[in-house]
Every structure is written in C-alpha cells, then in structure tokens.
Amino acid sequence: MGWGEKWPAPAKLNLMLRITGRRADGYHLLQTVFRFIDLCDWISFSPSVDGRVRLRNPIPGVPESDDLTVRAARLLKEYTGCAEGVWIEIEKNLPMGGGLGGGSSDAATTLLVLNRLWGLGLSLETLMELGLRLGADVPVFVFGRAAWAEGVGEKLVAVSVPDRWVVVVKPDCHVDTRQIFLADGLTRNSKPITMTDFLAGDARNDCLSVVGDLYPTITEAIEALSQFGVARLTGTGACVFAEFDSEDLARRAFIELGEVWQVYLAKGVDRSPLHAKLGQGKF
C-alpha cells in the first residue's frame, strides 16, 4: 500500500435497533445489528510537508476542522505524538444525515489507513477506542465485520447475516440524530432480545415512530418501498431500505422507485470493503 491510493469507506445499515435504556450522561443504550453494504465514499491521502492535517475538498456546510476525517487524523497525531502531516481528499457518495454512517465510516477509514501509512502500529482495539471518541458509530467501521452491538454501539460481536441485495431510498430530508434521541415520545425501555429473536424476525427500529412523526416523507418512503419488500429505517434515518434474495427483484424495485425517489442499489457484505482491501494481518 502507498500514498495516493483510494480507500473505501462503506455505508452501514442497522438491520434492527432497540433502545433499552439511558446512561447517566444522556447517551442511549442500544441493541443493534450492523451490516455493511458495498456503497462507499472513497478517501485518498497524500503527505504534507508542514505537519498539518488538511482537506483538499471540504464538504459544503461542514467546516474543515469539524470534518470527521480531519478530527480522526488529528486525534491520531495527538494520541501518538506523530509529527507527520497529511492532505485528505474525500469522494463523497453517501448521503449525509442518512443513517448510513458515512461520516463515521470516513473517520474509521482515516484511522485505519493513516495508522498504516504513518507506521503507528496501533491495534484494532486501540483504534476502536479512539473511534468511539469521535462518535458512537465509528467503532463498528474500525471493527470491519457485520456485528451485534450493545452499549452505545461499542460492544461488538461479529455475526454472519444472510447475503442479500439491498435497495436504499433516501427521502429528501436530513435527520439530526441528536434531535431524535432528545424526543419526548422516544421508546427508551425496550426489552433486550437475543440474536435468535432477531433471526426469527424481531427486527423493529425503536426510532421509527418518532422519526416518522417528524418527517412524513420518511413514512411515505416506507410505504413506497413496502410495495416491493419489507421496508425498514436505518439508524435514526433518513434512509429506509429493503433486502432482497435476488438481484432481479432488487433491480425491479430500484428502477420503479427511481422514477420518484433518490434510490441506491447495493449488495450486503459481512466484511467491510475497507478491511478486504487492507487485507489480513497487523493494523
């Protein structure tokens, strides 16, 4: 591997999401199943001579120093004392505020790739801990496997979920995760379930009722997608998705829904495309 290569930052889906409690600091305790899809942002890195971390193409509306890739690179420097600098370039394909975890995935790709390029030798566990400081969704992207998650999403156990084709519909709205977790009507006391319960079909998302009330277009997207398959909300939205056993069925839904909605056709994968590219071995 070398400088200048493009590295994938895949999207995730929450195949179910239950809120089972709340910590003293206000963060919510969850049970969720994460799986990756082969829809990706792409990030490349080149060395800078002045030791600074800079973005070649800041995302409109996101100040450079707030960008999760910049924050991830600065955190690595601060944690290790590394004096290197880097130029980061992001090819942004994943919708923001969509519940696909794009910003978190960009951060994880930055942590894993710079750890290699800068020769820092940090373990996956350490990178997951650093990731958690950036956001609750970052650890799973560092982990790189479909996972059953608890805590705020940092207690992860690898799981295998069936291979599926996926259609994702992106309603024309951005959902603020914080706003959903602050909502009065949010269910916060769901009974914990097991992976067996999930596999038997218990796959609801506790955020859906609040999200649907606040954003009627998300309810409409669920209704539209339900004509083709079982439609679910990922994370706190805005995206909704359905899984299909065959590419043909998925493609039919993708084409028909694409006449009205912003849609994506993707394949579910158990292993993150980033980890597949990084290969086995030491992080």
Ligand X SMILES: Nc1ncnc2c1ncn2[C@@H]1O[C@H](COP(=O)(O)OP(=O)(O)O)[C@@H](O)[C@H]1O
Contact between 102 and ligand X by CB under 6 A: the answer reads yes
Q: Which of 8, 98, 131, 139 binds ligand X (CB under 6 A)?
A: 98
Contact between 137 and ligand SUD by CB under 6 A: the answer reads yes
Residue placing its CB nearer to ligand X in the complex, 146 or 207: 207
Q: Which does 30 bind (CB under 5 to 8 A by kind): ligand X, ligand SUD, none?
A: ligand SUD
Contact string (CB under 6 A) for ligand SUD, positions 141-180, x = contact: -----------xx-----------------------xx--
Which of 67, 106, 137, 206 is labelled catalytic?
Answer: 137
CB 221 within 8 A of CB 264: no
Q: Which of 30, 73, 128, 250 binds ligand SUD (CB under 6 A)?
A: 30
Cβ 59 to ligand X, closest distance in Å? 6
How many CB atoms within 10 Å of residue 143? 23
Q: Which of 99, 131, 139, 171 binds ligand SUD (CB under 6 A)?
A: 99
User: Which has the closest alpha carbon to 218: 98, 93, 39?
Assistant: 98
How far apart (Å, rounded) are the C-alpha atoms in residues 190 and 19?
A: 6
State the SS3 of the chain: CCCCCEEEEEEEEEEEEEEEEECCCCCEEEEEEEEEEEEEEEEEEEEECCCCEEECCCCCCCCHHHCHHHHHHHHHHHHHCCCCEEEEEEECCCCCCCCCCHHHHHHHHHHHHHHHHCCCCCCHHHHHHHHHHHCCCHHHHHHCECEEEECCCCEEEECCCCCCEEEEEECCCCCCHHHHHHCCCCCCCCCCCCHHHHHCCCCCECCHHHHHHHCHHHHHHHHHHHCCCCCEECCCCCCEEEEECCHHHHHHHHHHHCCCCEEEEEEEECECHHHHHHCCCCC
Cβ 261 to ligand SUD, closest distance in Å? 19
How far apart (Å, rounded) are the C-alpha atoms in residues 233 and 235?
A: 6
Q: Which does 171 bind (CB under 5 to 8 A by kind): ligand SUD, ligand X, none?
A: none
For ligand X (CB under 6 A), the number of binding residues is: 19
Is 245 one of the catalytic residues?
Answer: no
2 is in an annotated binding site: no
Residue placing its CB nearer to ligand SUD in the complex, 229 or 237: 237
Q: Which does 96 bind (CB under 5 to 8 A by kind): ligand SUD, ligand X, none?
A: ligand X
Is 137 one of the catalytic residues?
Answer: yes
Q: Which does 266 bind (CB under 5 to 8 A by kind): ligand SUD, ligand X, none?
A: none
Contact between 69 and ligand X by CB under 6 A: the answer reads yes
Cβ 37 to ligand X, closest distance in Å? 13
Contact between 106 and ligand X by CB under 6 A: the answer reads yes
Query: Catalytic positions, please?
Result: 12, 137
Q: Would you list which residues are annotated within the binding site?
A: 95-105
Provide the binding-site residues for ligand X, judged by CB under 6 A.
59, 62, 66-69, 90, 96-104, 106, 177, 235
